[in-house]
Chain A
Amino acid sequence: MSRTLLLGLDGATFTLLDRLIEDGLMPFTKQLVERGVRAPLMSTPCPLTPPAWTSMMTGRGPGEHGIFDFTLTKEVERNRISARMTTARDVQSETIWSIVGRSGKKSGILNFPVTFLSRPFNGYLVPGYVTPRVLRTSVHPRELWDEISNLPGFDAKDVAWDMDVGMAPLDSQRMAAEDLIGWVEYLKRKDAGWHAVARYLLEQTPCDLVAVVFEGVDRLQHMTWDLIGPESPLPGVGSTEQKLRDHCYSYFRSLDKRIEDLCTVAGPSARVFIASDHGFGSTHEIFYVNAWLARNGYLCWKEGAGIDTSGRLTTGSLRQFYESIDWARTVAYASTATSNGIYLRVANNAGDAGLPPERYNEVRLEIMRRLRAYTDRAGSPVVTKIVTREEAFPGKAMDQAPDLTLTLRDGGFVSIFDSDDIVKPRPEIKGTHRAEGIFIANGHDIVAGRELGPLSILDVAPTLLYSLELSIPENLEGACVAEIFAPDYLRSHPIRFCEPTHDPEDEVLDKVGGDMDRAEEEVVLDRLKALGYMQ
């Protein structure tokens, strides 16, 4: 069986990679593409890191796995809205590493979002988006920390999540030149740490699947798209812009070397997949969606809430932001900048704020109609697409999804703040997400030199399972991309299907049942019931 390596490049897009390849900055990636298969990879309805990576690694859409944003927004009690970071405990679909583990194979999973507090499985996991001080106690198994923390190139402070640095890409202000250079070096160190752990897993463990996310591509593109994006003008020779641009390019050179090294360590019999959670493009304006909702009577600000004057989309303290809204007089709101979603509040109990249930459809349609009709001063529509949650997120978790998801004309994220103007030009062009990411496959029994039409992000999980010679659970929403495999291999290894994935909650009960006698099992089940874990 071929070992399978998945290199996740957060936010990678062919619109930039093709130019970097053409300019000779990523020679190894060029070889991978030329001697393998490439295709655009279409992201989730809102092309955002947490739902998209979770879809890639579960083969289910957000309406099934339940991850729609970095945070989970809840109305915890009457007129009190709260948001907290999503964790693996919120993922309602089985992950590929759980499926692989159930078959007796091992996985090594590094830096994927929404993996903090993952359930135990057969393999190794270092979660992404965890602060440095919490990282040590978050790895699985715990002993792994002793092995990786002293690896050359690994520094917990660099690889872990820094809230301020993480929020920086959404800030409208460009860094000073020297800060930007330092920041690019920080991204390289971050990648170096994850590279070191991936290398360790490939060399020292019998992992059948190793998957690692390098997040620097996304961060760099957010911050410097006006310098490195394909549409950006060539800077003058010797100018500061040219130096900065060259420094940004050095990140991609460094990334190319990491890809080469990990492919070399994985060996010639391995299969390598490179995928991104979404693509990238430019954003040149800010749409203040809550300001629009307020002007149209759906949201009410508290007195003194203040307006945004610095081009901000969001804040590090959503709690404080929520305190600026008069929830008793608000029926629709955007809780974050990242999901581009609008939530409607329904008054299910007497005295609750929100819409009477019977008015929900009418008001939702009214908001859709008004948003579609909204134009800037030049008469151009700003919101180009609006989908209901039934359209975008069908599934068991749909009721947690935004009631409406918006696509803006410049592809940008909304701002959640109040503003004197509903749409404002950005002080400078920045990078933002697009639906079209990348997919590259190369290696043993993979055909060479083929370019495919757009694939779905949901196709990645079944394709990885097939590469690992495992059956594909029949309820995965995507399909194995059979065209990438050599015809002889396909004939000798027909695609097989198996029973549906397990419910992650049931995994706990599976473990209970696995190694205990009946009496012990009953004691544990009683305890789980007592804890409210089982109904």
Chain B
Amino acid sequence: MNTNVKQSALDGVVHILSDMTSDWDLDFAGGITGDTRLVADLSFESVEIVQLMGAIEKHFQLSNLAAEELLMRNDRYVEDLTVSEIADFVAERVRS
């Protein structure tokens, strides 16, 4: 995958998450990076993950992110997602 696209996607997702969580009452220390986990670090609830995916679609002007593919692995819904996993998924969609 093109490194620039991947980095742009990561920057975009970090930007959205930083903006979204800037006034959240979190114990999480340090800035959001690729290793940050949505649930474990940022306390995302399931409905907020859906709202995040919508915000990502809007930011990257993707008309159908099909985020369900990101949220499922081996026929089971994943327990958590890292920022890098989301960014890689977005980068794939932007390029396809």
Secondary structure of the B contact surface, majority rule: helix
Give the distance in Å from the alpha carbon of A323 to the alpha carbon of B74 in the complex. Answer: 12
Chain B residues, Cβ within 8 Å of A269: none
A523 CB–B CB distance under 8 Å: no
By the criterion of a CB under 8 Å from any partner CB, how many residues of chain A are at the interface?
30
B39 CB–A CB distance under 8 Å: no
The smallest beta-carbon distance between A112 and chain B, in angstroms, is 16
A89 CB–B CB distance under 8 Å: yes
Chain B residues, Cβ within 8 Å of A133: 20-21, 23-24, 48
Q: Name the CB-closest residue of A to B67.
A: A84
Give the distance in Å from the alpha carbon of A134 to the alpha carbon of B93 in the complex. Answer: 24
Q: Which of A229-237, A252-260, A358-366, A526-534 participates in binding chain B? A: A526-534
- Residues A117 and B45 in contact in the complex (CB < 8 Å), given A136-B23, A319-B77, A533-B61: no
Question: Are B50 and A84 within 8 A (Cβ)?
Answer: yes
Question: Are B61 and A130 within 8 A (Cβ)?
Answer: no
Question: Are A163 and B63 within 8 A (Cβ)?
Answer: no
A173 CB–B CB distance under 8 Å: no
The B-contacting residues of A in range 87-146, CB under 8 angstroms, are 87, 89, 116-117, 130-131, 133-134, 136-138
The smallest beta-carbon distance between A266 and chain B, in angstroms, is 32
Chain B residues, Cβ within 8 Å of A519: none
Question: Are B45 and A76 within 8 A (Cβ)?
Answer: no
A369 CB–B CB distance under 8 Å: no
Question: Are A76 and B61 within 8 A (Cβ)?
Answer: no
Give the distance in Å from the alpha carbon of A297 to the alpha carbon of B28 in the complex. Answer: 50
Q: Name the CB-closest residue of B to A87.
A: B54
Question: Are B68 and A134 within 8 A (Cβ)?
Answer: no
B41 CB–A CB distance under 8 Å: no
Contact of A317 among B21, B46, B55, B60 (CB under 8 A): B46
B62 CB–A CB distance under 8 Å: yes
Give the distance in Å from the alpha carbon of A323 to the alpha carbon of B62 in the complex. Answer: 28
Contact of B20 among A89, A134, A323, A533 (CB under 8 A): A134
Chain A residues, Cβ within 8 Å of B48: 131, 133-134
Question: Are A533 and B63 within 8 A (Cβ)?
Answer: yes
Question: Interface range on chain B: under 10, 10 to 19, 20 to 34, or 35 or more?
Answer: 20 to 34
Chain A residues, Cβ within 8 Å of B53: 84
A80 CB–B CB distance under 8 Å: yes
Question: Are A82 and B96 within 8 A (Cβ)?
Answer: no
| Residue in B47, B53, B77 whose Cβ sees the most chain A Cβ within 10 Å | B47
Chain A residues, Cβ within 8 Å of B8: none
Question: Are B72 and A531 within 8 A (Cβ)?
Answer: no
- When each residue 10-45 of chain B gets 1 if its CB lies under 8 Å from chain A and 0 otherwise, what string results? 000000000111011000000000000000000001
Contact of A76 among B51, B57, B66 (CB under 8 A): B66
A85 CB–B CB distance under 8 Å: yes
Question: Are A531 and B46 within 8 A (Cβ)?
Answer: no
Chain A residues, Cβ within 8 Å of B96: 532
A372 CB–B CB distance under 8 Å: no
Contact of A163 among B45, B66, B72 (CB under 8 A): B45
Contact of A74 among B19, B47, B68, B71 (CB under 8 A): B68
Chain B residues, Cβ within 8 Å of A76: 66, 68-69, 72
Give the distance in Å from the alpha carbon of A130 to the alpha carbon of B77 in the complex. Answer: 22
Chain A residues, Cβ within 8 Å of B94: 531
Q: Name the CB-closest residue of A to B60.
A: A531
Give the distance in Å from the alpha carbon of A272 to the alpha carbon of B33 in the complex. Answer: 50
Q: Name the CB-closest residue of B to A133.
A: B24
Chain A residues, Cβ within 8 Å of B72: 76, 80, 82
Chain B residues, Cβ within 8 Å of A136: 23
Give the distance in Å from the alpha carbon of A130 to the alpha carbon of B52 in the complex. Answer: 11
The smallest beta-carbon distance between B42 and chain A, in angstroms, is 10
The B-contacting residues of A in range 488-535, CB under 8 angstroms, are 505, 508, 527-528, 531-533
Q: Name the CB-closest residue of B to A322.
A: B77
Give the distance in Å from the alpha carbon of A233 to the alpha carbon of B96 in the complex. Answer: 63
Q: Name the CB-closest residue of A to B53.
A: A84
- Residues A80 and B67 in contact in the complex (CB < 8 Å), given A131-B45, A131-B48: no
Give the distance in Å from the alpha carbon of A533 to the alpha carbon of B96 in the complex. Answer: 11
Give the distance in Å from the alpha carbon of A138 to the alpha carbon of B48 in the complex. Answer: 12
Give the distance in Å from the alpha carbon of A138 to the alpha carbon of B23 in the complex. Answer: 13
Contact of A131 among B23, B47, B60, B75 (CB under 8 A): B47
The smallest beta-carbon distance between B84 and chain A, in angstroms, is 21
The B-contacting residues of A in range 67-87, CB under 8 angstroms, are 74, 76-77, 80, 82, 84-85, 87
Contact of A116 among B20, B21, B23, B54 (CB under 8 A): B54
Give the distance in Å from the alpha carbon of A335 to the alpha carbon of B75 in the complex. Answer: 18
Chain B residues, Cβ within 8 Å of A80: 68, 72, 75
Give the distance in Å from the alpha carbon of A82 to the alpha carbon of B46 in the complex. Answer: 13
Contact of A532 among B24, B62, B75, B76 (CB under 8 A): B62
Give the distance in Å from the alpha carbon of A163 to the alpha carbon of B68 in the complex. Answer: 20
A–B Cβ pairs within 8 angstroms, 5 of them: A80-B72, A131-B51, A319-B77, A532-B63, A533-B63
Q: 4 tightest CB-CB pairs across the interface, nearest first?
A: A82-B68, A76-B68, A117-B54, A87-B54
